Structure 1
Amino acid sequence: MSTVAGTPTTRAVAPDLARGAMLLMIALANVHLYLYGSAGLRGYPADLGLADQIVALFQLMFVDGRAYPLFAMLVGYGAVQSARRREPGRAVGILRRRGAWMMAIGALHGVLLFSADIVGAYGVLLVLSAGVLVRGSDGALRMIALAGLLVTGAVGVSSGLPSGPAWPSMTVTDPALAMLLHLPEWLGSTVVAALTTVGMVALGALAARRGILDEPGRCRPFLRRTAVTGIAVAAVTGLPLALAATGWWQPTTVPALVAGVLHQVGGLAGGVGFGALFGLISTRTAPRALLATGRRSLSNYLGQSVVFCALLPAWSLGLGADLTVWQASLLGVATWLLGIAASAVLERAGRRGPAEVVLRRLTYGRRPARTG
């Protein structure tokens, strides 16, 4: 039987704080994919300078493959939060409808802008797993989480090997051709993302059933242990591939494959660890602007792609041919800060983000029921 907690009386702070902070990690994880030239590991250019090596080392240990698992966990957490307010059958229908529209939004985002879109993958997972998220047993969710871990490890085998340009569509100058290339890129990315994050969606649902981020103050010792352990595992397992990507280690084939698996699986631990860290932080402080950003995470995520695509691909201004990794990372930070500023303005005006308005309208209809 499901162990979903009762209906909360107020909106939980910790998930919004985690979403707001996570958007910085996503910006840093994505922006280097827009750079094109000589291709190395995980979409990073080969032959990095010293400053780029240091930035890449940090990102591969703490950001790359660690941001999207956290995002997926929050998707599962949010699904259970939403289901608490409704009769189970209706909750399943709403989650599936929401997931279907997320697939549509992800397809538009992936074809028009950034083919490594993640929204469509999470939409697929919501459509397929809504029933088990709402009505499934804890045991079923644990089995999905374990299966997701194994699949993630299998997918990670290729992470340690150079694979040419991460996204060939970035290098073409014709926008129409770029969009044509985006479609197969998006389809492949969506399948891989769904396979490697399904376990984290289930894990997020388990956490929500226990209200871990709803009342993080009562879980402080657990969150502290989880944060330290998860982030430490992410750093240690990410180090071998980070050293290979920076050129400080030249592994042969077998060690490279092992490094890829460790990096990918360790990213799941990192997602859990960062989720626990943001839960801990929320017990002491919760900056209003960051909360506002988290409440508009879909708009901010899509907005990052608008900024990056306007500047970096060859089919736009083409700055991706010239920027270094550290410069692109500064652009990522600046874009995240721009999103915070815009979210704060919307919060003061009492308005949702534009993408949230659209998704809500599509999910619930023209006059959605009040959900608290």
Structure 2
Amino acid sequence: MKVKEISGSICVVPSIEASAVYAGLTKKKLDVGLIYSKRPTVSAAVFTQNAIKAAPVIYDISLMKSMPDIRAVIVNSGNANACNANGEEAVDVIVSRVAQKLGILKNQVFIASTGVIGEDLPYDKVVSSLDNLVLTLSSNASGFAEAIMTTDTFKKEYALDCSFYGKQFHIGGVAKGAGMIHPNMATMLAFITTDINITHEMLDKALREAVDKSFNRISVDGDTSTNDTVFIMSTNEAPNERIESENEIYRFFTDQLTQLCTKLAKMIVKDGEGATKVAEVVVVGAFSKKDAQLIARSVANSLLVKTAIFGEDPNWGRIIDAVGYSTAYFSINRLKVFIGDTLVFAYGRRVDFDKAAIDSYMKNSEIKILIDLGIGICTYNMWFSDLSYDYVKINAEYHT
């Protein structure tokens, strides 16, 4: 079994093509992207848990219930198509026209949007771009990665070449997200392709596990959005025997899918609006997974912890404060906290430590916090960004 990182993203799968154009939804950059599969596919997706959902999300949730053969994905930035007057109309027109231009069925088109909430989507601009989108489809997805960006500062792409006892398959992904990022998904979009031979049911199961261990474990600002979507399609053209159960190759595929999703998720945290550092909180020794998760999320979403990390302050008091209000079960008399490799708190009191060494550690671009509850065997981890002056400046200007 071999796994190798390769350049590219969604178009590492042979039958997948992509394109992008400037349609006038943003000021200057590419803002509409298209993914097209030349072969039938099996697909799966997970969506935002926000009760208020954008029109594309509502449409896609209904679409995915029929286990469709998705052949095309149309995405726009600059407008979330959420909480507006023409959302449903815009989705229907765009999806219908994409299907017409590609010669496929309407229920073979998936749609997503990201951008400003509450404004009508000028879908005529999207429709006018379709001829150019179809004409420029190619095996280069770089333009697509740009077209889905909003406040992102860099494109987020990743791909793997995998071999399972000589049976080769690929996984490629592209994502966007920089703000309104919170566990249970937020303003982020991710599109993943693979050629593994697999049923819809097993692909859906693999995706949900991978998302739970990656995109659902990141936080930038604690806001959950209206548009989050993680979508995967498989062309089923790899030479492996079709995966129909949780066998050895299913486990191998799911592990690699999780690796890809984790890589993309950490890119999102790194690109958090105004972020200067990426931090990971790891909780071990919890009585239950729920307790471990509650504490990890409490620390990752703490504004005081985030600002302390931005200020390069090893403020363990803010960490244990977040542990305390997490509602998780723990005993302070068993609790230990490490920042990097340095023990800073143990069994109810501060520990003497080398201040110069930990001050130097806090200058790193990546920070790790380990919380050992000492009462069980359950663990949970999360990645999060610091909170800087620039975050406030960016979000005073953008309303996404």
Q: Which protein is richer in strand relative to its size?
A: 2
Higher gyration radius (CA): 2
Common topology (TM > 0.5): no
* Structure number with higher relative contact order (C-alpha < 8 Å, ≥ 6 residues apart): 1
Instruction: Provide TM-score, normalisation by structure 1.
Output: 0.25
